[in-house]
Amino acid sequence: MDGTLLLAGGAVLVSALGAIESRLHRRRLETIPYRIHVNGTRGKSSVTRLIAAGLRAGGIRTCAKTTGTVPRMIFPDGSEYPVHRPSRTNVIEQLRVVKAAAAARAEALVIECMALHPHLQSVCELKIVQSTHGVITNARADHLDVMGPTSRHVAAALAGTTPVAGKLFTADQHHLDVFAAASRDRGSSLIPIGDDQVAGVTWEELSGFAHIEHPDNVALALAVCYDLGVDRRTALAGMWNAQPDDGVLQMYSMKQSGKNLTFVNGFAANDPESTGHNWNMVVDRFCGFDQRVALFNCRADRSERSVQLADACLKWQPADRYVLVGSATEVFAKRALSNGMRPDRLINAERMPAQHVIEAIDRENRHATMVMGMGNIAGPGMQIIEYFRQRGERSRPAVPQISQPIYQEAA
């Protein structure tokens, strides 16, 4: 009997504490006028940082939290700290983020959605963030085991973070009907970012970044900043000076045997659509190379991804050479050759150390070569990155001397 009473009393106490914490959380949210919930398949961390930087530049006291390569909490002065996780990833972490933002007297909180499961995405919005502005970067065929089986199902899952009686911004052009339905259901306005707005981000504006930034990410972030009263020039100045996410496209340049060799770290995008988007954008933007090399890091336990990339890469702008590193590279090679890839364009560098891989590429280098790393970052991917970090220099993208338009995902 005593044990039963003790259990009952404990349950009541836990329930009461939960109710108190819930009220405290609501009060904290009320102290933060602008709450921006960023979701999407790719670019969430970058867009979170871009929006936060633009708002800070506009004088809005802003906190932000990313879940990217390394989870970070960013404070109103631009300083940032890693988010400590006592155990595995848990969406309850977002409660601590709101608490920290309220304590920092933030006027705006830009928070990246960290949930994958469709139900949890909705819970994060309706119970935790309760955003005034929702942002969906794109909806692509990734994490299909959780959100699939198609990109349309992914879009429906991402739409779970649509705000109630707020505004939903998206740069995705393929599933606007899904986002429109979610917006109607929750009484929000849908604000799509169209091709004209993406094309309106000029090469000169993109050259202000110390890394390769996607024009659709910039256009999306600018639209949110403008809605909150920050003009384009001010927002861009803030974005240019902000610390980028670890997963952005970074360039390293070096001299090898008297010739120029540039490496683009594109390993962070590991689904075929995003990888192709990155490759086409880089090829469009940088035309001063004699040779363009697509380097794929394969994994034996990710053979399906190798097949997907082998199918996709022949639909992208062509490379002069395709270099395979990692393990089980024959999966990629056989598929690519069966799809019509010329054998003389394929270099199998499985089990080669990074230096030998670069030397094999450099043998074909006449004057200037661009190498873009894609696929998985583990093992050989990281070794190649370290090779360029140690021997090369971080290079800043310049304005290209070309007249072609910026590559657009929706095109």
User: pLDDT (tens digit, 9 = 90+) per residue, 84-124?
Assistant: 877 677 888 899 999 999 999 999 999 999 999 999 999 99
Q: Assess if CATH 2.60.120.10 describes domain 25-241.
A: no
Listed in sequence order, the DSSP H helices in 70-190 are 93-103, 118-123, 144-147, 151-158, 176-185
**E strand intervals along 40-179:** 62-66, 72-74, 80-82, 108-112, 133-136, 167-170
pTM for the complete prediction? Answer: 0.84
Read off the pLDDT of residues 170-216 as tens digits, 9 standing for 90 and up: 999 999 999 999 999 999 999 999 999 999 999 899 999 989 999 99
pLDDT digits (tens, 9 = 90+) for 284-311: 888 789 899 999 999 999 899 999 999 9
Calpha distance 159→166 (Å, rounded): 13
Burial environment of residue 260 by CB neighbours within 10 A (0 to 12, 13 to 18, 19 or more): middle
Higher pLDDT, 165 or 4: 165
Residue type, 292: R
Q: Which of 3-12, 20-29, 334-343, 365-374 has the lowest mean pLDDT?
A: 3-12
247 vs 150, residue with greater confidence: 150
Q: Does domain 250-395 have CATH number 3.30.1360.120?
A: no
The Cα–Cα gap between 205 and 183 comes to: 31
- Rounded to the nearest 10 degrees, the angle between the axes of helix 176-185 and helix 151-158 is 30
CA distance 199 to 152: 25
d(CA 404, CA 289): 16
Q: How confident is the model at residue 69 (pLDDT cuts 50, 70, 90)?
A: low
Could you give the CA distance from residue 73 to residue 86 in angstroms, rounded to a whole number? 16
What is the DSSP-derived secondary structure letter of residue 373? E
- Same CATH fold assignment for domains 25-241 and 250-395: no
Using alpha carbons, list the distances in angstroms from residue 312 to 187, 192, 223, 274, 332.
39, 27, 31, 11, 11
| Residue type at 49 in one-letter notation | R
* Residue extents of the structural domains in the chain: 25-241, 250-395
* Alpha carbons 66 and 93: distance in angstroms, whole number: 12
Residue 281 structure tokens: 């954008």
Q: Among 52-56, 187-191, 264-268, which is the least confidently predicted range? A: 264-268
